Chain A
Amino acid sequence: AQSVSQHNHHVILSEAASLELGCNYSYGGTVNLFWYVQYPGQHLQLLLKYFSGDPLVKGIKGFEAEFIKSKFSFNLRKPSVQWSDTAEYFCAVNAGTYKYIFGTGTRLKVLA
């Protein structure tokens, strides 16, 4: 069965620190990959997505992610986090259907 793993469940960083959140999926075929963010009390918002082309994808708010096919990974990065990045981050994959499979999420807390 297809699955998505986010290994970091909770991450605490100081402002200006660099961020990398891991996302691995299990599916051998063509995939579409997404990162969503859920700020406290708000709904899921799309940060970035990868369908094809350049494996380094830039999203909103300074986030980027790199698709490494050989590693089945789509890690999210930001060079310098801000207090306002405190949120929960979800990686999602859809493979062959319109359905998303979500990872378990990573709660990021940025200390001012």
Chain B
Amino acid sequence: GAVVSQHPSWVICKSGTSVKIECRSLDFQATTMFWYRQFPKQSLMLMATSNEGSKATYEQGVEKDKFLINHASLTLSTLTVTSAHPEDSSFYICSARPVGGTDTQYFGPGTRLTVL
């Protein structure tokens, strides 16, 4: 149980285009989903926290107009990287916290974004 999927697993796009990444909790409902960014050989940095039906809370230094987050249902959150640039190339990971669950987060497999 507690499986989280991400789609796509990898994407290559041209500079200036927008890319949408989906995060789904497959066998549970998620009150809260989190989006992280992982740079090569570094740790996960929390970008934002999203709660179903409300606006996402962004961490300091994360541009909310660039990284649009929508949490439309209890099983789906999306991250859209708008007007992507090469410096946005990274590994994006989502996690989900089950409704009524403890503070444990379950992680998706990540999405590798490469911006040319």
Cα–Cα distance between A32 and B105 once the two chains are bound (Å): 12
- 18 A-B contacts, Cβ less than 8 Å apart? A36-B107, A42-B109, A43-B93, A43-B107, A44-B107, A45-B107, A46-B104, A51-B102, A90-B43, A94-B103, A98-B32, A98-B49, A99-B34, A100-B34, A102-B43, A102-B45, A104-B42, A104-B43
Q: What range describes how many residues of B lie at the interface? A: 20 to 34
Q: What range describes how many residues of A lie at the interface? A: 20 to 34
Also in contact, A105 and B43, with CB within 8 A (given A34-B104, A46-B104, A51-B103): yes
Which B residues contact A (CB, under 8 angstroms)? Answer: 4, 32, 34, 42-46, 49, 93, 95, 97, 102-110
Q: How far is the CB of B49 from chain A (nearest CB, A)?
A: 6
Main secondary structure of the interface of B (DSSP, over half): strand
Q: How far is the CB of B74 from chain A (nearest CB, A)?
A: 15
Between A and B, how many residue pairs show CB distances below 8 Å? Answer: 46
Q: Mark A94-112, 1 if CB is under 8 A from B, else 0.
A: 1000111111110000000
Also in contact, A102 and B44, with CB within 8 A (given A43-B93, A51-B102): yes
Q: Which residues of B sit under 8 angstroms from A100, Cβ to Cβ? A: 34, 44, 46, 95, 105
Cα–Cα distance between A103 and B4 once the two chains are bound (Å): 22
Q: How far is the CB of B31 from chain A (nearest CB, A)?
A: 9
Are the CB atoms of B43 and A49 closer together than 8 Å? no
Q: Which residues of B sit under 8 angstroms from A44, Cβ to Cβ? A: 44, 93, 95, 107
Cα–Cα distance between A104 and B93 once the two chains are bound (Å): 15
